């Protein structure tokens, strides 16, 4: 494969990766919107889509490293960057495309971390609510946490005092 051919091929390859990375960012924004709105029914489909996209991008990255190594560059990010820089003398759009890809992947990383933080905050809030409900159930009867709480089907599960109803504080 000549350097001219490989430069043009690499440009097309990186342009496709940019499109995939931008689509991943779109999925992450959609995921974030669903998390904020508690639209949990869509999250599983988005998680599967996100995972497939991330795996494909990783596969392409590893393939790029192999191609760089075959051209005599180190099989790491620095070697890949040097290879792209060398190829950019033949294909002028290559450096800007590579920079766009790096920037977009960095944005995806930050969004994914932000979404993880949202999930962690929501889980902490749910745990707090569970603790409040458990404490309220124990405080009402002095009995076990299962006393005077809602059962698995949503029905009132009364044990202990028949006239006591559960209390809960939900923020």
Q: What is the mean pLDDT of residues 74-94?
A: 95
Percent of the chain at pLDDT exceeding 70: 78
Tokens encoding 52: 């497939």
Write the CA distances from 154 to 125, 127, 150, 157, integer angstroms. Answer: 21, 19, 5, 9
Residue (of 118, 128, 124, 99) closest to 34 by Cα position: 118
Of 40-44, 60-64, 151-155, the range with the lowest mean pLDDT is 151-155
CB 148 within 8 A of CB 158: yes
Determine if residue 38 is left, alpha or beta; phi over 0 gives left, psi from -120 to 50 gives alpha, anything else beta: left
CB 34 within 8 A of CB 40: yes
pTM of the shown model: 0.73
- Residue 156 pairs in a beta bridge with 150
User: Each residue of 8-35: pLDDT tens digit?
Assistant: 999 999 999 999 999 999 999 999 999 9
Topology of domain 3-119 in CATH is: Methane Monooxygenase Hydroxylase; Chain G, domain 1 (1.20.58)
Helix (H, G, I), strand (E, B) or coil at 107: helix
Tokens encoding 1: 């494969």
């Amino acid at each position: 494969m000549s350097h001219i051919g490989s430069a043009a091929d690499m440009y097309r390859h990186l342009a496709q990766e940019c499109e995939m990375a931008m689509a991943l960012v779109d999925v992450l924004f959609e995921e974030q919107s669903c998390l904020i709105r508690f639209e949990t029914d869509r999250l599983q489909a988005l998680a599967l889509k996100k995972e497939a996209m991330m795996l494909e991008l990783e596969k392409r990255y590893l393939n790029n490293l192999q191609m760089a190594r075959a051209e005599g560059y180190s099989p790491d990010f620095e070697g890949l960057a040097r290879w792209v820089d060398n190829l950019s003398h033949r294909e002028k759009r290559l450096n800007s495309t590579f920079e766009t890809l790096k920037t977009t992947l960095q944005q995806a990383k930050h969004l994914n971390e932000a979404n993880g933080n949202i999930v962690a905050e929501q889980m902490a809030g749910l745990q707090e609510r569970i603790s409040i409900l458990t404490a309220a159930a124990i405080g009402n009867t002095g009995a076990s946490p299962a006393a005077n709480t809602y059962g698995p089907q949503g029905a009132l599960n009364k044990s202990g005092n028949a006239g006591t109803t559960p209390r809960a504080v939900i923020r």
